Structure formats: structure tokens, C-alpha cells
Amino acid sequence: MRSVGEHLNLCLLAAEPLPELAVPLEDAVGCVLAADIIADSSLPATDLAGGDGYAVRAQDVVHSPAILPVTADIQAGDTVWTRLVPGSAIRIASGAPLPPGADAVVPVESTDMGISQVTVNQPASPGSDAMVIPSGIDVPSGATVLRAGQRLDAQKIALLAALGKGRVRVHPRVRVVILSIGDELVEPGAHREPGQVNDANGHSLAAAAEEVDAKTFRVMVTDERARLRETIEDQLVRADVIVTTGGLSYGPADTVKDVLTPLGAVRFDNVAIAPGRQLGVGKLGEVPIYCLPGNPVAAQVAFETFVRPALRKMAGWSNLYRTSVSAKMSRGWVSPAERREFVPVILTGKPGEYRGEVLGSHPQARLAALALANAFAVVPEDVTEVKPQQTLHCMVLE
């Protein structure tokens, strides 16, 4: 029997980071940067007005009230700027470029809002007060603003767009085909005959893959060998990785091993994990394939333990694993010998004082418990009885 660590190593060996691509910003959301981003211009590129008001020389409004002629009007986006004549004012909109000769902006509420002439009722400060946004104060030219390995979210996309980066080099989103295998499966919501079951795994595994920003495709297929083989070969065209669920037991209808063995370098092992046991890993040509159990709880545990780190590696992440914390268990239970057990818990408390409320009672029937859990308590292989208040490491799911 292989250990959890040995099987995880095989899963990671099968996964390689996807080749870098230069993509438009709209296609980069959720991807991991493949190269540092260097600002080739300042942000903002010029001094800007921080609010609606009047651009002036601070020395012209030292004594208030000061009455100045208004010589021009500048709006945000104007590309031709009028130079400020000493002793005058230019009406300016928020975000508009500060005209040459001006060093301050008087807020409109501190004036009489004049059109051809304005009365300024308070002095203005030169330079970087709230009403003047200096060039480069946000990002100076030449600065490294984002590092390779960071995920591009809305905030980072905003920065890239503001800097004029229309395309960026990223590790593309991983295309994952989720293959649910079994004659008994039906799509949730469809008519179900006695003995048939809803395909929970296809939906749950697709959702889990999408949580690591993968692009997913769900496929249901029967156990029939020719049909299963044809489906797998068809999916290789669009897959960066294939994840199967079901068909791994030893019955006559469990055909995954028979079909996959001739197609590529795929191995199947009993792994010292609970829930679950039989797992597969390998490659079909250049496409990694991970074979998970059909039990919904075991499939989720196997995905979190083995597949999620592999997908993050393919997507270019440097940090592959979930956060782990220690927590005291709310109650005890008997754990299977020589297997690493993953038990759904709700973590509460604060660092150093976490508590884990154990959910569910049967290792193979904890799907409702899993829906409430925010962590897995991990029981080592050499522990067969967990005591109440015993401390265990927990894999945090949120």
C-alpha cells in the first residue's frame, strides 16, 4: 500500500506548469503572472487635480479673499493645456491635468464658483495636499508593481490597465475534464429510476477545480469499455488534465483500469487514506490523469489532497497547499489503522486556541457534514483512537 505522501509525489510529478502565454487583460483574470510587471511610465503620468476647483499659484491666494480672473477651463481628458498666467485662475475638473504654472488647486466649495472671475475665500497649499495628486505618487516609472506568481484579480487588472498594459504573460487557466463514470449515474434534476444515483461528483469536482481558477468540462459516461475508451480519447483534444471519478473497484462493471492501462502510463494503487483507498495517476500522452473513487466524500478528500496541489502547480502557483492549523477536537473517535484519515470539522477560535467540532459519524456518509465543514482534521496513520480534546493538524478549506 502506498503512503499519502508517495501518491502525492506521483501526482505532482505528472503535472508540469502550462507554457506561458501573452494574453489580453480580459483573458488574464484568474491566471497567474509568468513575469514581473515593470511600470514603463509613472502613475499618474502628470500632476492631477484631486477634486473640482480652480488651479492657481499658491502665492496668489495667500491673502483671502483673493479675486482672480478665470482664463480657461480644463476637463479630465483634455490634451491641450493652457498655461496659467500669474495672478489668474483656471477652472479645473477632478482628475484633469494641472496646467503649467499652477502649483495648487482651490476646492470649488472654498470659492464663489465664479465663471469669468472667482473669489477665493481661503489660502491653498502648494504641492501634494489632497487637492493635487503629484505625478508618480502612486507608481513611479521603473517600479516593479507585480511579481511573477501572483494571481490576477480585479484589483491587479485595474493597475495593469491604468499602466497601459494591454497584454500580459501568464500561465493560462488549466482546462480540466471531469469524467463521471457509471451506468447508474443521472444528471441531477433528471428522472431517476430505482438504483440510479445523481451525479454529485461531477458537479462537486468541477466546482472544486473552478475554485482554483481552472476551466472545467463535465462529462458523464457509462462503464461500457468501448464507450469509455472513445470518450476519454475524445476529451484529450480539449484537456490539460483529466479527472475521473468512479469505476475503480473490483467488480465486473469497474472498467477504468482495463480501459486506461493500454492508453498510457497509468498506475493504480491502494493508498493509505480514509475515506477512499484505490487511486490512479499517470499520463495519457502529455495529459495528466487522476482517477478518484466514486464515493462523493472520498472523491472530495482525494481531490483536496492530491489533485488540487497538482492543478496549482500546472497553473504556475509557487504555494501548492492549503493552510494547516492545530486544533483541539470536540470529541473522540476510532480511526482506521495504518491509514491517514480526513474528518470534516468546523474550526472556531483564534490562532493557538482553535477548536474543531467534529461533524458526521460514518466515514463513508459525511456528505452533509462536508457541506458544513471549513476544514479537515487529519489523523496520522499511527493513531487508531482520537481522544476528546486531542490536538490534530487541520487542513483549512476556506
- Both 338 and 364 in a single domain? yes
Number of domains in the chain: 4
pLDDT at 164 over 90: yes
**Cβ-proximal residues to 201 (8 Å cutoff; 6+ apart), any chain:** 178, 180, 245, 246, 292, 294, 296, 299
Q: 131, 153, 180 — which closes off a domain?
A: 131
Distance CA 187, CA 193 (A): 12
The percent of the chain in helix, strand and coil, each rounded to the nearest 5, is: 20, 35, 45
| Per-residue pLDDT at 263 | 84
Range of the domain at 28: 19-41+135-169
Question: What's the pLDDT band for 247 if we cut at 50, 70, 90?
Answer: confident
- Both 148 and 100 in a single domain? no
Q: What is the pTM of this model?
A: 0.83
- Both 165 and 23 in a single domain? yes
Distance CA 308, CA 295 (A): 18
Which amino acid, one-letter code, is at 141? S
| Per-residue pLDDT at 275 | 94
- Both 164 and 184 in a single domain? no
Q: How much is the average pLDDT of 221-244?
A: 95
| Per-residue pLDDT at 171 | 94
- Both 262 and 382 in a single domain? no
Q: How much is the average pLDDT of 134-162?
A: 95
- Both 155 and 33 in a single domain? yes
pLDDT at 249 over 90: no
| Per-residue pLDDT at 23 | 95
pLDDT tens digits, 259-280:
998 887 899 999 999 999 999 9
- Both 181 and 163 in a single domain? no
The CATH number of whichever domain residue 163 belongs to comes to: 3.90.105.10
Question: What's the pLDDT band for 363 if we cut at 50, 70, 90?
Answer: low
- Both 209 and 257 in a single domain? yes
Q: 80, 104, 131 — which closes off a domain?
A: 131
Q: 169, 184, 218 — which closes off a domain?
A: 169
The CATH number of whichever domain residue 365 belongs to comes to: 2.40.340.10
- Both 148 and 26 in a single domain? yes
The full DSSP string for 111-170 is: B---SSEEEE-S----SSSTTEE-TTSSB-TT-EEE-TT-B--HHHHHHHHHTT--EEEE
pLDDT at 20 over 70: yes
CA 210, distance to chain mean position in Å, is 9
- Both 308 and 240 in a single domain? yes
Q: Which of 80, 123, 117, 120 is nearest to 100 (CA)?
A: 80
Question: What's the pLDDT band for 125 if we cut at 50, 70, 90?
Answer: confident
| Per-residue pLDDT at 364 | 65
Q: How much is the average pLDDT of 212-217?
A: 95
pLDDT tens digits, 24-78:
999 999 999 999 999 999 999 999 999 999 999 999 999 989 999 999 999 988 8
pLDDT at 210 over 80: yes
End-to-end CA distance of the chain: 31
Distance CA 245, CA 118 (A): 74
Q: For 54, which DSSP code?
A: E
- Both 283 and 216 in a single domain? yes
- Both 147 and 88 in a single domain? no
pLDDT tens digits, 296-305:
999 999 999 9
The CATH number of whichever domain residue 217 belongs to comes to: 3.40.980.10
